[in-house]
Structure 1
Amino acid sequence: MPSFATKNGDGAPARRTVLRGLALGGVSLALSACAAAASKAADGTPGSAVPVLPNPEAPKTPDGALQRLLDGNKRLLANRTLHPQTLDDIRKHAAGQAPYAQVFGCADSRVPVEVVFDEDFGDLFVTRTAGNVLSDATVGTIEYGVLALNTPLILVLGHQSCGAVKAAVDAMKDPAKLPSGPLGGLVSALLPAAREAKDRGADIYPAALEAHVRSVVATLQKTPSLTGPIAQGKLRVVGASYDLATGAVTMY
């Protein structure tokens, strides 16, 4: 799969400055909005709840973040979830965000990331594209999560029975089945994984999914802006798959 990493050079510190500035600016605007709402409430008109600070117990290390994700999925499987996600929870997180991990998932409607890991508003920084296909904008979004929000973990989450992966395998077997236009470009990005799995017989679809997720992980690990945090042990990029039928997450 092609790499969409940008070149690293003298512009890297400037990029971090811009990203942090955007994050701080967004928080500042949100705080101003909340202050205005509180003022209205004091006058007797409806206002939002007082915003809370980020959870001090949120994991700060890559291993801690991964363990919390997996623990959340275990709660889902045991039908013991903790986060009903109410309107009050939305209001509590309106003043800013401090996610403890990133998840780069598929756009499939059956893979709601916060539900999969039993998390609340503000806990996860989520990016989703069909088939977990990377682009400049996607990589830039992930960079923002690391450089501005200091997330210590990026989990690339594919899922079984992925339509984009199936389309790539079908197009690998019969090029006439490759869609045209932008959709064809998206499916083409998955063709290397399909070719890697072509000798797996009945297991070709899960094998192609795993190959693609591993490729995305490798691409992100080589992205220049992320190599420094990875080398310092402040960031990990890992891959996993989600089973639509069972709800279970399996690490690769």
Structure 2
Amino acid sequence: MLVRARSMLLVALALSPSACTKKKDDAVDLAGLRPITMEIVVVDDDFDPFAKPAGTLPESVSVRAEERLSRSGFPATFQYAMLVKKPGETYVQAKERFSPWLSTLPLPAGRRFVLGDVMEDDETGEPRPIGLRTYVVAGEAIVTHANVVDAIVLEDDGKGPIQPPAVLVTLDAVGGERFHAATREHVKERLAIVVDDKAMSVPLVQSPIPGGRVSISMHGTDDRAVAEARRLAVALRGKSR
């Protein structure tokens, strides 16, 4: 099955998106909130772990293909594995079904799988996760949650097409320079923004990004997405209890 990827573009974030407004989120309910992990790492789209038949696939798992631009700027086809979630199954439960099989697939040294949601619009037009898919990432993290000095929520300002909420993360000087250098080195490649071992977004680097700020977009525009953004921002700022 070939699907056309809706590529996210990672662009300079010196200014907030025009369709969003900054929101304070200190009033978010912190009950049960725990510290989280965050890392940004390079996606290795040159290696295809599914180029050869993977043998018998586990229940609900299929190998699919997506078409998007390669580093040379020409359309190319890339493969990934997808697991369809069972009714009522959480991300963690689906991951526990998926990961044992993935661990049997050989990857080059320094590569590993990370998983992200596969989204589909429901009857109200809101995107909902219907499954998990694979990405292959390479090398050490460019930056991590240890480099975060601030995180704020950007919500839709109501003046144009509705935009999903996002968390605008400010990095420290070391992290900002590492991120700038990495985006300079990996133009036309994808980076994975991984929160608690889950790829939240996998944008394409269009140009080097100075300024030390990164945006993490939520899925959806409803109250659930806004609440998720607020809790993420608070946790990244280290205000969990």
Indicate whether the TM-score tops 0.5.
Answer: no
* Higher helix proportion (structure 1 or 2): 1
> What range describes the TM-score normalised by the shorter chain of this pair?
under 0.3
Compare CA radii of gyration and give the structure with the larger one.
1
TM-score, L = length of structure 2:
0.26
